[in-house]
DNA sequence: TCCTCCAACTGAACGTAGTTCAATTTAACG
DNA sequence: CGTTAAATTGAACTACGTTCAGTTGGAGGA
């Protein structure tokens, strides 16, 4: 019966991720507590540390889920988009914004997780980021066929970063915020202008 | 002699801000400790709380300094800039980036300070933000004379947010980072394209 | 100059975190 | 079913921000 332990561990692992995912969604990353997790999961406090190195490790697992959902949301909206490259970029930008708005706490957790000095993001993080980039890269390469590969990559990154910045400052700051209609419009304006 | 106390309080206040400013610059916001501050300032732990409501209050004072320095840095580079509006925008964008790169920890502290749920940023924060926006608003209004006032404001905000996003993801993520040359180029490309 | 009183200052103590580890429980195997 | 090693537990440890009862020291009057 080599496995009873592994099965239980695996179940607890999934359970902990599910519960942390819920709590982050409801209360935000800053309100996640190891003791709450243990209570909700019906396990000992120390059990968390049998499975994860530390809370950061657990949060990374939640962030992986969030990243997958984000990718899926963007892909779903993209599927219904017109086939003009520029419209696809607009749809993607707005899909990114809508996901961030509707999953604020989850989305923030992607970027709020403090990575200690000089530590690089985990590999899957870069991969998921790359997937998002590749969505942009396609339409952009059609719009800008004269750009070299390196410049195209820079441009792709710049476009993503720009939309990210608009969403971040638009949603996040209590700086009087920007109404949803306006944010959608800002994103569309930016992308149309940048892709022209 | 109505004043000996006030003088000491004021001196300690300035001293604490100076020390917190240094520590944030050297070790980052996340490594700021009340006990370290007290030790460095040669005061009691509780003394900090006679002067500031809490550490957040002190950090806000440091951030106010940082914001002033940021504004001054942008203004200084702007003073040497060509008079073409588009070049001024490029210079400002790159000045923002250079400030962020050279004062990474200070710059991050501006945005990393956790504001508890629904709390709005302090007034001076919005004012300084407004000052940065007004730098952009001028040249942009020359470049886009046909835009309405509201759209111009949206565009101004979008432009700032875009540069902010590029700097944030370019500097911050350990995502293989973007070389300085490339970031300068990305910012210039974006601004030229967006202002066209 | 000295005394008195009250505001200001002090730092030990408190509450709340994440994390650890000695003691206990439990699963795997002969 | 007994033995043993690994897994699990939760009280304890450490490290924070913050508080507050006790003490100190300054300002005004005698």
- Give pLDDT tens digits along chain B (196 positions): 456 667 888 999 999 999 999 999 999 999 999 999 999 999 999 999 999 999 999 999 999 999 999 999 999 999 999 999 999 999 999 999 999 999 999 999 999 987 766 677 888 888 888 999 999 999 999 999 999 999 999 999 999 999 999 999 998 766 667 888 999 999 999 999 887 7
Same domain, A108 and A168: yes
Q: How many domains is chain B partitioned into structurally?
A: 2
Same domain, B96 and B173: yes
* CB spacing of A174 vs B117 below 8 angstroms: no
Interface of A with B in 118-147 (CB under 8 A): 118-121, 125-126, 129
Whether A193 and chain B come into contact, CB under 8 Å, resolves to: yes
Mutate to test the interface with A, among B174, B182, B195 (most CBs of A within 10 A): B174
Same domain, A137 and A180: yes
Give the range of the structural domain holding residue B48, as residue numbers without chain letter.
Answer: 1-52
Same domain, B80 and B110: yes
Same domain, B107 and B189: yes
Query: DSSP readout, chain A?
Result: -TTHHHHHHHHHHHHHHHHHHHHHHHH-GGG--HHHHHHHHTS-TTHHHHHSSSHHHHHHHHHHHHHHHHHHHHHHHHHTS-SSHHHHHHHHHHHHHHHHHHTHHHHHHHHHS---TTPPPPHHHHHHHHHHHHHHHHHHHHH-TTS-HHHHHHHHHHHHHHHHHHHIIIIIS-SS---HHHHHHHHHHHHHHHH-
Same domain, A95 and A161: yes
Same domain, B72 and B153: yes
Same domain, A112 and A163: yes
Same domain, B44 and B65: no
What integer pLDDT is reported at residue A1 of this predicted model? 45
Q: Which segments of chain B does DSSP mark as H helices, in order?
A: 4-27, 34-41, 47-51, 55-79, 85-102, 104-112, 123-143, 149-167, 180-195
For residue B16, the domain's CATH number is 1.10.10.60
Same domain, A133 and A181: yes
The tens digit of pLDDT for each residue in B82-123 reads 999 999 999 999 999 999 999 999 999 999 987 766 677 888
Same domain, A168 and A138: yes
pTM of the model: 0.93
Nearest CA in chain B to A125: B175
């Amino acid at each position: 019966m080599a496995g009873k332990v592994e099965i239980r561990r695996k179940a607890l692992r999934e359970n902990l991720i599910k519960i942390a995912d819920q709590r982050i969604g409801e209360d935000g990353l800053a309100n996640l507590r190891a003791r709450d997790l243990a209570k909700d999961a019906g396990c000992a406090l120390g059990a968390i540390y049998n499975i994860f190195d530390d809370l950061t490790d657990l949060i990374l697992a939640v962030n992986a889920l969030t990243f997958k959902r984000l990718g899926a949301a963007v892909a779903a909206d993209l599927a219904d988009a017109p086939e003009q490259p520029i419209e696809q970029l607009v749809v993607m930008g707005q899909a990114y914004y809508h996901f961030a708005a509707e999953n604020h706490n989850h989305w923030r957790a992607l970027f709020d997780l403090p990575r200690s000095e000089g530590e690089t993001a985990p590999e899957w993080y870069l991969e998921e980021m790359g997937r998002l980039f590749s969505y942009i890269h396609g339409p952009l390469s059609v719009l800008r066929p004269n750009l070299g590969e390196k410049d195209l990559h820079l441009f792709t990154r710049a476009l993503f970063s720009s939309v990210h910045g608009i969403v971040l400052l638009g949603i996040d700051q209590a700086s009087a915020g920007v109404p949803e209609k306006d944010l959608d419009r800002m994103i569309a304006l930016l992308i149309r202008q940048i892709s022209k």
